[in-house]
């Protein structure tokens, strides 16, 4: 929702609520200005008008930054809910026609999901809703580890796709995609007929997918840690796709999701092998904000994601 001063209610320019929401979420005039596409002076002026209306400083200087006042902390969730309801109201139509949809859908997903599912979703969107657009954001790591709230609240994405073990039960969710972990090896170094047993897995050289913070563990790493099995890691990358590049031409082993492993094996000289360990199922879940649950446009897009996932 953009900022466009015009409408007043009880002497308050209602568009100032957009500025208030940005200011309270960012706790920074400069970041709020960037988010609102306003100059810093105009955003400061909006804060001044809000302070005058509420008879409260709203943002208080603390050290080198700003912190919301007690009143601002009370206002923040109510303003956010009001704006979400307004967005939903504006988006509501009696009969939703995808062919006339001009919405920009934003979703947060891992590089595995982005490579495995989202291209098919994008092709379907191009066919069914050619005027719509799609933004795919990385599944970033939040300071408190809550990737779902980070995606849906702070990053204001429409949807988040996360591993089943990382869902936030405060948000609606639906099972989206099931997969399993397997291993890829270079076909030159692992000719047909060779299998991967536990001994070779233990003693082999491994390529590992690691998250940006260096602390959040991948599904295979967490499971191996839980069962007390160590492996020799010789290369660490931050993308599942890159794992293939670090395996080719070497005797190395990489553990990743079967759907992506098979896709990589169609493009590279790789073999897909059964993992010698019973890893937990690798399931992905779709989550969205409860305030957007009845948005007919997002409901249609969620169904599109579920249908495309079912066809994989």
Q: Which of 26, 57, 92 is a domain's end point?
A: 92
| Secondary structure of residue 243 in the 3-state scheme | helix
Q: Which domain holds residue 140?
A: 98-177+283-311
Answer whether 304's CB lies under 8 Å from 176's CB.
no
DSSP string, 71-104: HHHHHHHHHHHHHHHHHHHHH--SS--GGG---E
Same structural domain, 296 and 155: yes
Assigned domain for 9 exists: no
How big is the chain, counted in residues?
A: 312
Reported as a single tens digit per residue, the pLDDT across 66-110 is 899 999 888 888 888 777 767 666 655 556 789 999 999 999 999
Same structural domain, 70 and 131: no
Number of domains in the chain: 3
Assigned domain for 1 exists: no
Same structural domain, 196 and 65: no
Same structural domain, 223 and 298: no
Answer whether 53's CB lies under 8 Å from 12's CB.
yes
Assigned domain for 107 exists: yes
Same structural domain, 172 and 185: no
**Beta-carbon neighbour count of residue 123 at 10 Å?**
11
Assigned domain for 239 exists: yes
At residue 249, the pLDDT reads 97
**How much is the mean pLDDT over the chain?**
88
Same structural domain, 110 and 64: no
Same structural domain, 292 and 247: no
Assigned domain for 3 exists: no
Same structural domain, 140 and 287: yes
Same structural domain, 247 and 266: yes
Same structural domain, 69 and 145: no
Q: Which of 50, 72, 92 is a domain's end point?
A: 92
Which residues are within 8 A (CB) of 216 and not within 5 positions of it... i.e. 6 or more apart?
141, 145
Same structural domain, 106 and 185: no
- CATH number, domain containing residue 249: 3.40.190.10
Give the separation between CA 200 and CA 203, rounded to whole angstroms. Answer: 5
Assigned domain for 57 exists: yes
Same structural domain, 78 and 192: no
| Tokens of residue 69, six digits | 């006042």
Digitized pLDDT (tens) for each residue of the chain, 312 residues in all: 444 444 444 566 777 888 888 898 888 999 988 888 888 898 998 899 889 888 999 999 888 888 999 998 888 888 887 777 676 666 555 567 899 999 999 999 999 999 999 999 999 999 999 999 999 998 776 556 688 888 888 778 999 999 998 899 999 999 999 999 999 999 999 999 899 999 999 999 999 988 766 566 789 999 999 999 999 999 999 888 899 999 999 999 999 999 999 999 999 999 999 999 999 999 999 999 988 888 889 999 999 999 999 998
Distances (CA, A) of 208 to 71, 124, 211, 251: 48, 33, 10, 14
pTM for this structure? 0.69
- CATH number, domain containing residue 88: 1.10.10.10
């Amino acid at each position: 929702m953009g900022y466009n001063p015009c409408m007043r209610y009880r002497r308050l320019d209602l568009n100032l609520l957009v500025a208030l929401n940005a200011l309270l979420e960012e706790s920074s005039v400069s970041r709020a200005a960037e988010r609102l596409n306003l100059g810093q002076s105009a955003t400061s002026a909006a804060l001044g008008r809000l302070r005058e209306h509420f008879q409260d400083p709203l943002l208080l200087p603390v050290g080198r930054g700003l912190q919301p006042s007690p009143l601002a902390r009370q206002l923040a969730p109510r303003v956010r809910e009001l704006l979400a309801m307004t967005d939903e109201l504006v988006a509501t139509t009696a009969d939703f026609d995808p062919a006339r949809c001009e919405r920009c859908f934003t979703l947060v997903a891992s590089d595995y999901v982005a490579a495995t599912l989202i291209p098919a979703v994008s092709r379907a969107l191009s066919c069914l809703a050619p005027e719509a657009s799609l933004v795919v954001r990385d599944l970033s790591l939040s300071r408190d580890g809550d990737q779902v709230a980070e995606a849906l609240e702070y990053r204001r994405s429409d949807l988040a796709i996360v591993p089943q073990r990382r869902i936030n039960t405060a948000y609606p969710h639906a099972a989206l995609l099931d997969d399993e972990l397997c291993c890829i090896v270079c076909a030159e170094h692992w000719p047909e007929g060779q299998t991967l047993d536990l001994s070779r897995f233990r003693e082999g050289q491994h390529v590992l997918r690691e998250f940006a913070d260096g602390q959040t563990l991948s599904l295979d790493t967490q499971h191996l840690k839980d069962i007390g099995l160590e492996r020799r890691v010789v290369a660490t990358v931050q993308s599942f796709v890159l794992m293939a590049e670090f395996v080719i031409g070497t005797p190395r082993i990489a553990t990743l999701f079967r759907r992506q492993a098979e896709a990589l094996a169609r493009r590279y000289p790789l073999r897909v092998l059964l993992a010698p360990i019973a890893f937990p199922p690798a399931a992905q879940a779709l989550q969205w904000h409860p305030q957007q649950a009845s948005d007919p446009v997002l409901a249609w897009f969620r169904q599109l994601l579920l249908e495309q996932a079912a066809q994989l």
